[in-house]
Amino acid sequence: MKSILIVDDSPMIRRLLKAALIESGWIVCAEAGNGRDGIAKAQELSPDAIVLDMAMPEMNGLEAARVLRRITPTTPLLMFTSHFGSFLEKEAIAAGIREVVSKSDGAAAVLNAIRHLLAPQELAG
């Protein structure tokens, strides 16, 4: 079973994502409220995928993605953000994020994106 790390400063968003991910058969290995804590938990737990918010205290999603890309280069990163736009999407991809999903698209869009990101791993593992 694949494990997901949720990094978002909103407890409500983390709760909703966690419920949707668990219902879809994944394990939520941990949650973090900012990028710095997310990096620490990623190093400790080695999740199969990481969902990052963009706007967070201490370290935003782009900054965290740049660090995560160096320390966990094969872990797929997904950004789930309310600050969706083409500029952010380009910046996110440059930072190592593989998918950007707007929060207005809801949890179903995140689930589909994670399925897409983990599909090669699912077939191989």
Q: Give pLDDT tens digits for 73-119.
A: 999 999 999 987 888 899 999 999 999 999 999 999 999 999 999 98
pLDDT beyond 60 at 122 = no
pLDDT-derived band at 8, boundaries 50, 70, 90: very high
Q: Are 53 and 80 in contact (CB under 8 A)?
A: yes
Q: Are 59 and 35 in contact (CB under 8 A)?
A: yes
Taking the model in full, what pTM does it have? 0.93
Q: Are strands 77-81 and 49-52 parallel, antiparallel or unpaired?
A: parallel
Superfamily of domain 3-124, CATH level 4: Response regulator (3.40.50.2300)
Domain boundaries, the chain: 3-124
What tens digit of pLDDT does each residue of 18-43 get? Answer: 999 999 999 999 999 999 999 999 99
Closest alpha carbon to 113 in 49, 66, 45: 49
Q: Are strands 27-32 and 3-7 parallel, antiparallel or unpaired?
A: parallel
Buried b (16+ CB within 10 A) or exposed e, 56-78: beebbbbbbbebbeeebeebbbb
pLDDT-derived band at 1, boundaries 50, 70, 90: confident
